[in-house]
């Protein structure tokens, strides 16, 4: 048993932490959030050069990592600094799918992803799908080697700025069936696509995408016809671990800010941290933070396992992170008082980011139900 | 024991309902339902509509132009307004300053300021908190030095809600730097147009611009704007705080909020069925609803006693804590219910801009409201301070 990071991961963690500490303060982040694309191309490029994206791909795919602990190491640091760049969408969801089921031509994109040259998005969620991964009503029909897509995709993270979209669509089966789902690589300027971008709470942009008779060649299909679901689920589980680690890093920062503030802020002639009412709650949060760390490590360590074991651990983690995330966000705001309610103070971003992670890839209730169902199987 | 309202009270409730259905502009209730903030003019219009009926200042006695309601009638009015998604009455003039002037103002002040509050001539804001003086309000530093017929005020107030709309601010200022903290404070009425006052907006975490910093540099305030006696301001401030805490339980807001959550949960589908049928979500909803049923009854018990002339004591603090926690729980349920559509940032939900919402319109404001209403347990005496009051009054150690 060894809970230490390997030397390579330790180095990556150190350099990424140093880089973000120097480059990514609250003011910079707030500017990025309000910029047109919602991310900084420059920061992205520099992170790619640091190896941040390469660490998310295996050596076979041209990277130098790709395991659960690599993902956790990177995303904990991104979370700690409150990074809003959609690396998860490009590198894990879209990039992971291309690496897992792409043909040789399509896999050529991985090199560009690792180099930080292209941005991607997975257009999967739909207005009625909520957190249901197999619910797809967008249709794909093949006529004479051409595929026609129709439907609507909702809250597609990074959907407005991606160079390529990976669109899920149903070739057979009914709305809820895991079988019959295919993926397609679609350039965003394809005729029939209507993409409307908006800002997300906690940073980043998402898009509503309407597909109205979108014609694409059959070569655009990514992976096996109608059988993309297992890969989709697998990559979503990796991304879910990334979200857990990101939330963990953000919670560490929220706690660090809170502890620092409780020591500095004086009311009634003494630091508010000297009030037992706040001390006990701080202690509870620190206990929960360790719970969050452990469940994230646990899920990261089971990412390479068989499907059911993997998914059960991932759902356990996302459930607990949702629960603890709410507690740490709300309590750190409360114990700060009014100052934490302001946009300008660092905590606001972290609190929002942590809570909004509960709305990505399944919330705490969704994953509890899934955990129960996977245990019963 | 009788849990029913009297016939008169029921008739009064019908009156209020009828009035709201006849007079509350749909455009206003629509905004409130969608969690959008109202413009200054809209607030003023609503005040004028209520004032036309004599119902703007429900807590004012008849002699000052109020309806002379007792606590039960006030409660009924507030509850019906919340259920109809009426805009909140801006509390600073009507609910806060008004009662202080009734009790401590001199005749000239009453004659001048009270009608102006009712007629909407002045928009008041509350200048209590300072960067260094939040929970420990008595440590405030903004000072006022008497020079002839004026006080010269220097310092800074913060968290001033809707100060951007205000032309008047009531302030706690330090007039005797040598006295004990609570004993050197005075209560001043200050015209925001006086030279030396600067208002700077504070953007809150949900993107809203509802609070401000107010800076004072050598601001000249005529001595007739001192309320009551010099250095007795703390007494008036405490009196005001007890009025700030009327309707502290927010039962109407919670009841309306719970209805909104149910509406979202009926429309949202989870696993092919309406979310409201999902056992985990239903359990969360039931828990809050039961909490609210009990709290609403506690509230009525307190109100009923108050109507019989018994001033609430520690119960106010209990209602503040429980009432705000329930409201926040409801906000939490709303954001959960909206699912992924809680993610898009709907600036229009906050500012009333005219962009169509990204998802279903019920989803647009929920996350912003969830974050914004974290304030409920911070202001009006934080929930920690309230718990301290409850514990102190009973433990006796
Ligand atoms: C949105 C908003 C609007 C507001 N509007 C107004 C307004 O219009 N006018 C105005 O004057 N003020 C206003 N306020 C200010 C509000 O009254 C203060 O925020 C409040 O008094 C708390 O003070 P603080 O924020 O400085 O927190 P602090 O007093 O610094 O408290 C920080 C934390 O310490 C806790 N704490 C403090 N003392 C104790 C203790 N003895 N024991 C245990 N815990 C303790 C608090 O509960 C809190 O959790 C507003 C605040 C907000 C957030």
Distance CA B380, CA B389 (A): 13
Q: Tell me how far the alpha carbon of residue B395 is from its chain's centroid.
A: 30
Give the C-alpha separation, A95 to A78, whole Å: 18
Contact B205, B180 (CB under 8 A): no
What's domain A121-226's superfamily in CATH?
A: Butyryl-CoA Dehydrogenase, subunit A, domain 2 (2.40.110.10)
Q: Any idea of the CA torsion for B227, B231, B236, B237, to the nearest 10 degrees?
A: 110
pLDDT digits (tens, 9 = 90+) for B82-116: 999 999 999 999 999 999 999 999 999 999 999 99
Residues in contact with ligand 1 (CB, 6 Å cut-off): A 265, 267-268, 272, 275, 277-278, 334-335, 337-338, 341; B 126, 128-129, 134-135, 159-161, 211, 375, 378-379, 382, 384-385, 388
Q: Does domain A230-376 have CATH number 1.20.140.10?
A: yes
Cα separation, B363 vs A8, whole angstroms? 44
Q: How confident is the model at residue B356 (pLDDT cuts 50, 70, 90)?
A: low
**DSSP letters spanning B260-290:** HHHHHHHH-EETTEEGGGSHHHHHHHHHHHH
pLDDT of B244: 60
pLDDT value at residue B245:
61
Separation in Å, CA of A5 to nearest CA in chain B: 33
Could you give the percent of chain A with pLDDT greater than 70? 100
- The DSSP annotation for B324-380 comes to HHHHHHHHHHHHHHHGGGGSB--HHHHH---PPPSS-TTTTTHHHHHHHGGGGGTSS
Judged by CB atoms closer than 8 Å, whether chains meet at A200 and B343 is answered as yes
Per-position b or e across B300-314, b if 16+ CB within 10 A of its CB: bebbeebbeeeebee
Q: Give dist(CA A79, CA A73) in Å, integer.
A: 10
Ligand 1 atom nearest to B381, measured from its CA: 21
* Chain B residues touching A201 at Cβ < 8 A: 206, 342-345, 367-368, 371
Residues 6+ apart with CB under 8 A from B61: B68, B102
Query: CB contact, 8 Å: B280 with chain A?
Result: yes
What gap in Å lies between CA B228 and CA B241, rounded to an integer?
17
Per-residue pLDDT tens for A40-56? 999 999 999 999 999 99
Listed in order, the ranges of chain A carrying CATH 1.10.540.10 are 7-119
Give the minimum alpha-carbon distance from A280 to chain B in angstroms, rounded to a whole number: 13
Cross-chain residue pair B339–A363, CB shorter than 8 Å: yes
**pLDDT above 70: residue B353:** no
Which among A155, A341, A365 has the least Cβ separation from residue B343? A155
pLDDT at A377: 61
pLDDT at A354: 98
Query: In the 8-state DSSP scheme, what is residue B343?
Result: S
The DSSP element (H or E) to which B188 belongs, if any, is strand B185-191
Give the 3-state secondary structure percentages of chain B, helix then strand then coil, rounded to 5.
Answer: 55, 15, 30
Asked if residue A63 lies in contact with residue A55, where contact means CB atoms within 8 angstroms, the answer is: yes
Residue whose structure tokens are 């857990």: A244
CA–CA separation, B165 and B124 (whole Å): 8
Bridge partners (DSSP) of residue A227 are A181
Tens-place pLDDT, residues B331-348: 999 999 999 999 998 765
In terms of DSSP bridges, do strands A205-217 and A181-186 run parallel, antiparallel, or are they unpaired?
Answer: unpaired
Distance A337 CA to ligand 1 centre (A): 5
Cβ-nearest to A200 among B132, B272, B344: B344
Quick: pLDDT tens for B126-158: 999 999 999 999 999 999 999 999 999 999 999
Query: Among all residues of chain A, which has the CA nearest to that of B363?
Result: A127
With CA atoms as reference, report the closest residue to A121 among A172, A195, A11: A195
Which tens digit of pLDDT belongs to each residue from A262-296? 999 999 999 999 999 999 999 999 999 999 999 99
Partner residue facing B269 (CB), from A130, A275, A358: A130
> CA B152, CA B140: separation in Å to the nearest integer?
16
pLDDT in tens, A139-182: 999 988 899 999 999 999 999 999 999 999 999 999 999 999 99
Cβ atoms of residues B135 and B382 within 8 Å: yes
Percent of chain B at pLDDT > 70 equals: 96
Q: What is the mean pLDDT of residues A305-319?
A: 98
> What whole-number distance in Å separates Cα of residue B74 and Cα of residue B307?
10
Catalytic residue among B244, B268, B355, B384: B244
Question: Minimal CA–CA distance to A64: which of A72, A76, A56, A74?
Answer: A56
Chain B, window 309-348: residues with a beta carbon less than 8 angstroms from a chain A beta carbon: 328, 332, 335-336, 339-347
Residues of A in contact with B278 (CB under 8 A): 365
Q: Which chain B residues in 181-210 lie under 8 Å from chain A, judged by CB atoms?
A: 202-207
C-beta of residue A122 within 8 angstroms of C-beta of residue A153: no
B244 is catalytic: yes
Beta bridge partners of B226: B188
Inter-chain residue contact A356 with B342, CB threshold 8 Å: yes
> Which residues of chain B does A359 touch, with a Cβ-Cβ cutoff of 8 Å?
335, 339-340, 342-343, 367
Predicted pLDDT at A189 = 97
Identify the band that residue B2 occupies on the pLDDT scale cut at 50, 70 and 90: confident
For B217, residues 6+ apart whose C-beta sits below 8 A from its C-beta are B154, B196, B197, B198
Tokens 């995709």, residue? Answer: A153
Task: Please tell me if residue B391 touches chain A, with a CB cutoff of 8 Å.
Answer: no
Q: Which helix (H) or strand (E) holds B122?
A: none
Distance from residue A284's CA to the centre of ligand 1 (Å): 22
Residues of B in contact with A130 (CB under 8 A): 268-270, 275, 339-340
pLDDT at B349: 45
CATH fold of A7-119: Butyryl-Coa Dehydrogenase, subunit A; domain 1 (1.10.540)
Q: ipTM score of the complex?
A: 0.96
Ligand 1 atom at shortest distance from the alpha carbon of B126: 9
Could you tell me the CA-to-CA distances from A294 to A72, A244, B284 in Å, in that order? 12, 11, 27
Q: Within 13 Å and on the Cβ side, how many CA atoms surround A183?
A: 33
Which residues in chain A have their CB less than 8 angstroms from residue B328's CB?
Answer: 330
Distance B386 CA to ligand 1 centre (A): 12
B240: left (phi over 0), alpha (psi -120 to 50) or beta: alpha
Task: Indicate yes or no: CB of B371 within 8 angstroms of CB of A330.
Answer: no
- Please, where in chain A does CATH 1.20.140.10 lie? 230-376
Cβ B203–A351 below 8 Å, yes or no?
no
Average pLDDT of chain A to the nearest whole number: 97
- Residue A283 has which token pair? 């202690």
Q: Is B350 a residue whose pLDDT tops 60?
A: no
Does the beta-carbon distance from A268 to B135 stay under 8 Å?
Answer: yes
CA pair distance B322, B92, nearest whole angstrom: 23
C-alpha distance from A4 to closest chain B C-alpha (Å): 35
Q: Where in chain A is the domain with CATH 2.40.110.10?
A: 121-226
Residue B280 is predicted with a pLDDT of 94
What residues contact B107, with CB distance under 8 A and at least 6 apart?
none
Question: Please, how many CA atoms are within 13 Å of residue A295, restricted to the half-sphere of its CB?
Answer: 25
Which domains, from first to last, does chain B contain? 7-119 (1.10.540.10), 124-231 (2.40.110.10), 250-395 (1.20.140.10)
Report the C-alpha gap between B8 and B11 in whole angstroms.
Answer: 5
Do B340 and A198 make contact, defined as CB atoms within 8 angstroms? no
Above 50 in pLDDT, residue B352?
A: no
Distance, CA B129 to ligand 1 centroid (Å)?
Answer: 8
A337, A342, A359 member nearest B202 (Cβ): A342
State both tokens at B156.
């800074």
Contacts of A248 (CB under 8 A, 6+ apart): A76, A79, A289, A292, A293, A296, A321
């Amino acid at each position: 048993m060894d809970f230490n990071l390997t030397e390579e991961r330790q180095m990556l963690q150190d350099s990424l932490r140093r880089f973000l500490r120097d480059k990514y303060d609250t003011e910079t982040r707030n500017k990025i959030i309000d910029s047109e694309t919602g991310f900084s191309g420059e920061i992205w490029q520099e992170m790619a050069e640091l190896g941040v994206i390469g660490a998310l791909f295996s050596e076979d795919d041209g990277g130098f990592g790709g395991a659960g602990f690599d993902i956790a190491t990177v995303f904990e640091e991104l979370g700690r600094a409150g990074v809003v760049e959609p690396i998860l969408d490009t590198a894990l969801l879209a990039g992971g799918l291309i690496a897992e089921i792409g043909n040789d031509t399509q896999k050529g994109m991985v090199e560009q992803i690792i180099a930080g040259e292209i941005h991607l998005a997975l257009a999967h969620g739909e207005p009625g799908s909520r957190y249901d991964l197999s619910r797809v009503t967008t249709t794909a029909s093949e006529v004479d080697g051409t595929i026609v897509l129709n439907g609507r995709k909702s809250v597609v993270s990074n959907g407005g700025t991606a160079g390529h979209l990976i669109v899920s669509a149903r070739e057979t089966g009914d709305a809820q069936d895991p079988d019959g789902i295919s993926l397609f690589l679609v350039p965003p300027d394809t005729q029939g696509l209507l993409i409307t971008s908006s800002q997300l709470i906690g940073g980043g942009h998402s898009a509503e995408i309407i597909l109205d008779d979108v014609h694409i060649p059959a070569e655009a299909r990514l992976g096996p016809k109608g059988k993309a679901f297992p890969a989709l689920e697998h990559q979503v589980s990796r991304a879910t671990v990334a979200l857990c680690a990101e939330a963990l890093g953000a919670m560490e920062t929220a706690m660090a800010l809170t502890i620092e503030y409780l020591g500095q802020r004086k009311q009634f002639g003494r630091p508010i941290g000297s009030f037992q009412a706040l001390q006990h709650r701080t202690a509870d949060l620190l206990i929960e933070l360790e719970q969050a760390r452990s469940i994230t490590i646990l899920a990261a360590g089971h990412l390479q396992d068989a499907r059911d074991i993997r998914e059960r651990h991932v759902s356990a983690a996302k459930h607990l992170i949702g629960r603890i995330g709410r507690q740490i966000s709300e309590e750190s705001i409360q114990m700060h008082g009014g100052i934490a309610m302001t946009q300008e103070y660092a905590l606001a971003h972290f609190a929002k980011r942590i809570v909004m992670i509960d709305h990505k890839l399944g919330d705490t209730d969704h994953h509890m139900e899934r955990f129960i169902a996977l245990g019963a199987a | 024991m009788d849990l029913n309202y009297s016939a008169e009270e029921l008739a009064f409730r019908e009156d209020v309902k009828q009035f709201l259905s006849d007079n509350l502009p749909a455009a206003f209730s629509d905004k409130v339902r969608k969690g959008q903030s109202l413009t200054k003019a809209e607030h003023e219009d609503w005040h004028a509509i209520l004032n036309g009926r004599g119902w703007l200042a429900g807590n004012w006695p008849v002699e000052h132009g109020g309806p002379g309601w007792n606590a039960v009638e006030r409660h009924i009015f507030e509850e019906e307004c919340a259920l109809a998604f009426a805009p909140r009455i801006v509390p600073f003039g009507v609910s806060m300053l008004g009662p202080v002037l009734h009790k401590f103002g001199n005749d000239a002040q009453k004659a001048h300021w009270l009608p102006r509050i009712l007629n909407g001539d002045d928009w008041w804001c509350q200048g209590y908190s300072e960067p260094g003086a939040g929970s420990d309000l008595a440590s405030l530093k903004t000072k006022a030095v008497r020079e002839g017929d004026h006080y010269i005020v220097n310092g800074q107030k913060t968290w001033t809600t809707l100060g951007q709309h205000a032309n008047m601010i009531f302030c706690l200022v330090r007039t005797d730097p040598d006295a004990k903290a609570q004993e050197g404070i005075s209560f001043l009425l200050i015209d925001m147009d006086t030279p030396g006052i600067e208002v700077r907006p504070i953007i809150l975490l949900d993107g809203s611009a509802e609070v401000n910093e107010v800076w004072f540099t050598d601001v000249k305030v005529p001595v007739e704007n001192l309320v009551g006696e010099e250095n007795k301001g703390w007494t008036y401030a405490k009196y005001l705080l007890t009025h700030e805490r009327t309707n502290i339980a927010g039962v109407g807001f919670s009841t309306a909020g719970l209805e909104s959550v149910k509406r979202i949960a009926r429309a949202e589908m989870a696993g092919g069925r309406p979310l409201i049928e999902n056992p985990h979500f239903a359990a969360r909803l039931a828990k809050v609803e039961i909490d609210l049923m009990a709290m609403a009854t506690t509230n009525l018990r307190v109100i009923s006693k108050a109507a019989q002339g018994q001033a609430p004591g520690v119960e106010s603090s209990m209602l503040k804590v429980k009432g705000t926690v329930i409201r926040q729980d409801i906000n939490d349920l709303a954001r959960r219910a909206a699912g992924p559509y809680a993610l898009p940032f709907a600036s229009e939900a906050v500012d009333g801009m005219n962009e169509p919402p990204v998802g279903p319109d019920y989803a647009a404001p929920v996350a912003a409201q969830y974050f914004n209403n974290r304030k409920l347990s911070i202001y009006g005496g934080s929930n920690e301070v309230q718990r301290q009051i409850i514990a102190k009054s009973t433990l006796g150690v």
